[in-house]
Amino acid sequence: MAFPVRENHELRFLALEDGGEGYAFPCDPAGRVELDGLTERERIDYLYARAVVGREVAPPAVIPRPPTPRR
């Protein structure tokens, strides 16, 4: 299912351990990530983050991105 992803939100998976790696991906306000819009590396990281929720990363949260200053 294709849908327009607005780059003003991101889905964040925060590391459970200090110094651990967290992940963030562009998403819509409902937290849906368009897999076809990710690079291969991002897609692998996204699927990995989802697989290790509760073990390595916290459940994801949808975070509004701050507005990008216009140039």
Q: What is the mean pLDDT of each run of 10 residues along the chain (71 residues)?
A: 66 93 94 95 98 97 83 67
pLDDT at 21: 86
pLDDT at 54: 97
Cα–Cα distances in angstroms (integers) from residue 1 to residues 8, 14, 32, 36, 52, in the given order:
20, 27, 11, 10, 24
- Written as six digits, the tokens of 38 are 């990710």
Cα–Cα dist 42/37, whole Å: 9
Q: For the CA atoms of 61, 34, 67, 71, what is the dihedral angle to 10 degrees? A: 150
Q: What is the pTM of this model?
A: 0.81
Cα–Cα dist 35/25, whole Å: 10
